[in-house]
Structure 1
Amino acid sequence: MRDGAVTGSIDWLQTSTPGLLLLCGAAIALLLWLIIKVRLEPFIALVVSGLLLALAAGLPATKIVGTALSSSNSLIENGFGGILGHIALIIGLGSLLGSLLEASGGAEVLTRRLLGAFGEQRAGLAMGLAGLIFGVPVFFDIGIFVLAPLVYTVARRSGRSMLLYALPLLCGLSMTHAFLPPHPGPVALAGLLGVDLGWIILMGLACGLPAFVVAGVLWPAWIGKRIMVEVPDDFVAAQEVLAGEDPAGGDGGRAPVSLGTVALVICTPLILILGATFGTVFLDKDAAALPYLTFLGNPAVALTLACLLALRLLGTRRGMTKQQLGELGAAALRPVGMILLVVGAGAFFGAVISATGAGKALAATLSSGGLPLIVLAYVISCGLRIAQGSATVAIVTTGGIIAPLLADTSYSQPQLALIAVAVAAGSIIASHVNDGGFWIVSKYFNISVKDTLKSWTLLETILSLAGFGMAVGLSLLI
């Protein structure tokens, strides 16, 4: 009797809708516990949680890891390989492009021009636009490291709170990092949900720019007048940049890169990718130009062309040697390995959820409860973000959970892109003490923990809610 009861309980977990949802919930709880309490690397925690979920759900070992002779059809290989084949080249090329722009002094040139155009009274808006533009090709933390000295200088000259200038910059960097390729989150979502990157760009801009206005323009103007953050003397390290001296900051005495060159390098891949998307929508499938637009607008091709352009215009033409370019490329690609491991492990975790049938069980529950998928995607992403801190983990885990729900639906590409935006928006909500970005912001801008919670944490929450609100609003119109 006891053996029969145990067997019956196992069968109930592995076959019933409540049982499958319980297993899925337990796996996510284990994942969070391993990351938060055990302090295990996120990619290892994702693999462990995925393997245990697969075993608990009764999946055959050959399906999980393959056989001794072949693993080509295993969940591990298909989960990792499927997503990494889509994103590895894009993220690597994007990292190289960002490093070339950083090393050339393009960020300083861009910011100085914006500050000159907008004037001291609108310096906060200028910093926000600098974050938006420079945030497209570079990672969030790199953008802070490069542009923070400019914030120190502007704040010191104005005598006002540094928050008035730091928060718009941070919001611009955060918006592009969350909503736009070639950053890991949007690129991973495109692969997981089967969305064209051109639509991700369009919907990311449509939702992200209004959210930036609210969180990066209106919010800093309000909170910056209520919290005074001084600039310590040892923080001011770029007076010469705004004084009109070498804007490339230590670039070996080379002439500063032109603003047109910076704009050309940043805009080239975006224009090519969008050209392919618009060509698919507006041109006849037999149009002579469509194959060329499709080829040039492939994200890997577009970013390769942009990198070649940057290597020439920002590198060799300005006197950089082959050795310097090689060292720069190696440094740019070092952090990419960990990002790819996390994304690949998250895709494996999602593949296990799909193989267990938990995705279909969740779909059945949702259809009976009437909860819109875009809302569910946002809520799950928010929960994972708040619990463990990593936006990338929140994105790839949520993407893996909701991908099976989209398999038998008739969502259009724009609708799928809006669901991806909802996931991305949830992944940045409420940055707090378990998020590395929280501490970078606090230390780099001399903000106390209490004031960081009042300013930065609320900025991220406003950006998240506004971006999600735009996604929901657009989903009702499309």
Structure 2
Amino acid sequence: MSTTVDWLRTSTPGLLLLCGAAIAVLLIAIIRFKLEPFIALLLTGLGLALVAGLPVSQIVGTALKSGDSLLETGFGSILGHIAVIIGLGTVLGAILERSGGADVLTAKLLNLFGEKGAPVAMGLLGLIFGIPVFFDIGIFVLAPLVYVAAKRGGRSLVLYALPMLAGLSMTHAFLPPHPGPVSLGGLLGVSLGWLIVMGFVCGIPGFIAAGIVWGSWIGKRVHVEVPDEFLVGKHDNRSEEPDGEADGAAGGGVATATLVERPPAVALIGAIIAIPLILILGATFGSQLLTAGSKPLQVLTFLGTPAVALLITVLIAFYVLGIRRGSTVQELGAVTAESLRPVGMLLLVVGAGAFFGKVISATGIGTALAHTMAAAGLPVIVLAYVISCGLRIAQGSATVAIVTTGGIVAPLVHEQGYSQVALALIAMAIAAGSIILSHVNDGGFWIISKFFDLTVKQTLQTWTVLETVLSVVSFAVAAVLFAILA
């Protein structure tokens, strides 16, 4: 008996079996027995930690100190990053929606691309927004526009959300200044310029295949209505103006809840959305162009911190979309309170998902799997992709998969003397592997499930497949180019 237990806890096949069983139990609990995901994730994570033989002090800490435990660091590692951002992004979205601004901007996009091209417009928004901002921040900022587009179009929320998510995911995985690609630049010794070039070359075909082709196909088969609470108010059926703009929000105005009678100009809404992007970009490029520790860099870093940038944007939106247009502070407070009501469960589910991923990582499966694959004798670009895929599937974090794989592959590529182009393509293979098969141990999986009102089964059918298509197509482009150019 003890031999079997030791095998499960220490060998790569045993750890794979153990983690696979935990994931299966989690899916059955949520899909078959309809257990609330927050409870299911917490129970399964604790159960896996105990069965894997992790010390109780590591799992939950001690009676006197628990700050370093997997339970608290699992929740805290992601909630410390996203809780403030989710809250501010939700409030900003509510102000944009209540003022009629989100509807006006979406109407302009629909007029530009046409009703059939609306998903493409959402995808382009994801690509553009995704370059300077993190994946989750992009979701928080763009989700209100997706809700309004889906409500106006009268079609599934999935049809509009997936192209946007594909754009955000592609930029996050393949392009600097995101942490994964930047880390690969240092680990593999490849310039950020080549990473940007190859990121677009490999990532754009994947984005088209996953976001536009797959998103359009599955969006017609998985129908999800936009819940009223996502739009922060009940909607009437006012008619649209001749130029395509609606007199109000989300398909015709918000009855008794709109902050102002007349929607703002598109240019004003575009400027408000651009504020956090400009501030974050300022911090990003300032860190590369200015002297470390200098006063200007400190100012840019402070203003460009995502939470600070969003707070500044919310305050500006309060003034220009609310107070300056006749709203009172009390009305703005009511909008804020109403918009934040659904946030609590979202944060709990995302935190529990991060805890579950942390437990899987602590079992050691990722390290064991990576070293086993490294000994398989595959071509370096295939090896890089397979290791990255294994790490992503095992522990959920794309950035962790990228950094860990880069560290394993770096000594191999340094010995071969590859060109900058070849190194950039190897980096793209690692990036492609890091996004494959997003599932229940990935915090992003739960963010998307809650933000777009998807069941676990629907999230697996839509988002998980999207990430896999994006991964496989982008890797295929990198592998073909590597065979030609390396």
- TM above 0.5, yes or no, is yes
Q: Which of the numbers 257, 261, 269 marks the counterpart of 2:276?
A: 269
Q: How does 1:313-392 map to 2 (within 5 A)?
A: 313-369=320-376, 370=378, 372=383, 374-375=385-386
Q: Specify whether residues 417 and 332 from structure 1 end up closer, same or farther in structure 2 by C-alpha distance, changes over 3 A only.
A: farther
What's 1:151 paired with? Answer: 153
TM-superposition CA deviations, 1:81-112 (whole Å, max 9, x none): 12211221122211111121111111221133
Q: Specify whether residues 246 and 414 from structure 1 end up closer, same or farther in structure 2 by C-alpha distance, changes over 3 A only.
A: farther
In structure 2, what is the Cα distance between the partners aligned to 1:19 and 1:217? Answer: 39
1:60 paired to 2:52: no
Aligned residues: 413
CA RMSD in angstroms comes to 5.0
TM-superposition CA deviations, 1:185-231 (whole Å, max 9, x none): xxxx979x9999xx9xx89x95776555556667899999x99x9xx
In structure 2, what is the Cα distance between the partners aligned to 1:11 and 1:459? Answer: 36
In structure 2, what is the Cα distance between the partners aligned to 1:463 and 1:19? Answer: 27
Offset, 1:263: 0.5
In structure 1, what is the Cα distance between the partners aligned to 2:464 and 2:64? Answer: 49
TM-superposition CA deviations, 1:404-427 (whole Å, max 9, x none): 945955889999898677655644
TM-superposition CA deviations, 1:223-281 (whole Å, max 9, x none): 99x99x9xxxxx99453245656245243662221111111111111222223222334
Query: Residues 167 and 216 of structure 1 are in contact (CA less than 8 Å); yes or no, is this contact kept in structure 2?
Result: no
In structure 2, what is the Cα distance between the partners aligned to 1:237 and 1:102? Answer: 16
TM-superposition CA deviations, 1:390-442 (whole Å, max 9, x none): xxxxxx845598489459558899998986776556449xxxxxx979x979x
Fraction of identical pairs, as percent: 41
Q: Please tell me the residue identity of whatever aligns with 1:66.
A: G
What's 1:294 paired with? Answer: 301
Query: Residues 421 and 467 of structure 1 are in contact (CA less than 8 Å); yes or no, is this contact kept in structure 2?
Result: yes
Q: Specify whether residues 110 and 195 from structure 1 end up closer, same or farther in structure 2 by C-alpha distance, changes over 3 A only.
A: farther
Q: Specify whether residues 420 and 212 from structure 1 end up closer, same or farther in structure 2 by C-alpha distance, changes over 3 A only.
A: closer
What's 1:239 paired with? Answer: 239
Q: Specify whether residues 46 and 112 from structure 1 end up closer, same or farther in structure 2 by C-alpha distance, changes over 3 A only.
A: closer
What's 2:469 paired with? Answer: 465
Gaps of 5+ in 2: 130-137, 173-177, 186-191, 224-234, 411-422, 440-447
Q: Specify whether residues 421 and 329 from structure 1 end up closer, same or farther in structure 2 by C-alpha distance, changes over 3 A only.
A: farther
Q: Please tell me the residue identity of whatever aligns with 1:81.
A: G
Query: Residues 90 and 140 of structure 2 are in contact (CA less than 8 Å); yes or no, is this contact kept in structure 1?
Result: yes
Q: What SS does the aligned partner of 1:124 have? A: coil
1:80 paired to 2:72: no
Offset, 1:41: 1.8
Gaps of 5+ in 1: 1-5, 153-161, 182-188, 230-234, 385-395, 429-434, 442-451
What TM-score do the two structures reach when normalised by structure 1? Answer: 0.68
Moved more, 277-286 or 74-83: 277-286
In structure 2, what is the Cα distance between the partners aligned to 1:323 and 1:330? Answer: 10
Q: Specify whether residues 347 and 151 from structure 1 end up closer, same or farther in structure 2 by C-alpha distance, changes over 3 A only.
A: closer
Query: Residues 99 and 138 of structure 1 are in contact (CA less than 8 Å); yes or no, is this contact kept in structure 2?
Result: no
Query: Residues 73 and 355 of structure 2 are in contact (CA less than 8 Å); yes or no, is this contact kept in structure 1?
Result: yes
